[in-house]
Structure 1
Amino acid sequence: MSLYTFEDNDTVKITGQLDRDTLSRNWWVMLSSSERSQLQKAGRCQFDLQQVERADSAGLAWIINAVRDARAHDIDISLHAVPKKVLKLAKISDVDTLLPVK
């Protein structure tokens, strides 16, 4: 099973576990060239995190890096349905202001 799927032109559904055992590469590197082009053309991206079962500090770092990478490529990114545990971890880690939660 893939970590993400494209739901439409700008919605990326993240599923499963975001932890040190499942994440080996940054999101932008994981994308195919056509997916990158699609997002750059749209100019925006919505991460739907409703199907995330578990996330640890590595998962939080992966999300923060995805936000950074999207912005570096002029893509306006927003996070939707962020699990409460991820928000708590971000707050405790003092990085909650880095997450563009909608």
Structure 2
Amino acid sequence: MTLNIEQQGEVFCFTGVLNRDTLMLYSPFKLLNSVSERINFDFSGLENIDTAGLAWLLQQLAWAKQHGIEISLCNVPKQLLSLADVTAVRPLLPISN
């Protein structure tokens, strides 16, 4: 299980697994420090996410909001949407597609 997050212009491309075992590689998530106004999180390469991954994502969204950065989520997997529905946080996710 691995997680890779690469910046390609105004997009962070997520590949692999975002869970309690892999998210520590990106805690704190320093890539957001290089963003000035907006960024897209592309989850098309995300294979799996658990509740710890969802909590990490919500933490990044909150940090970005405090720093005036707009994040949009694209290619959101059904698993993430299901977790967000079960935990009642889906309205907090800025899904663009």
Please indicate the TM-score interval, normalised by the length of the shorter structure: 0.7 to 0.9
CA–CA separation in structure 2 for the residues paired with 1:50 and 1:89: 17
RMSD: 1.8
Gap runs ≥5 in structure 1? none
Q: Which moved more, 1:17-26 or 1:43-52?
A: 17-26
Higher percent of residues as strand: 2
Cα deviation 1:28-58 (Å, max 9, x = unaligned): x2325xx623x11xx0010001100000000
Equivalence for 1:63 = 57
Give the % identical residues.
36
Question: Could you state the TM-score of these two structures normalised by the residue count of structure 1?
Answer: 0.83
Equivalence for 1:52 = 46
Gap runs ≥5 in structure 2? none
Q: Is the CA contact 2:39–2:72 (under 8 Å) kept in the aligned structure 1? A: yes
| Pairing 1:83-94 to 2, within 5 Å after superposition | 83-94=77-88
Equivalence for 1:72 = 66
Q: Is the CA contact 1:26–1:65 (under 8 Å) kept in the aligned structure 2? A: no
- Number of aligned positions between the proteins: 95
CA–CA separation in structure 2 for the residues paired with 1:68 and 1:58: 15
Equivalence for 1:11 = 11
CA–CA separation in structure 1 for the residues paired with 2:89 and 2:56: 13
Structure 1 residue ranges (4+ consecutive) displaced by more than 6 angstroms after TM superposition: none
Question: Could you state the TM-score of these two structures normalised by the residue count of structure 2?
Answer: 0.87
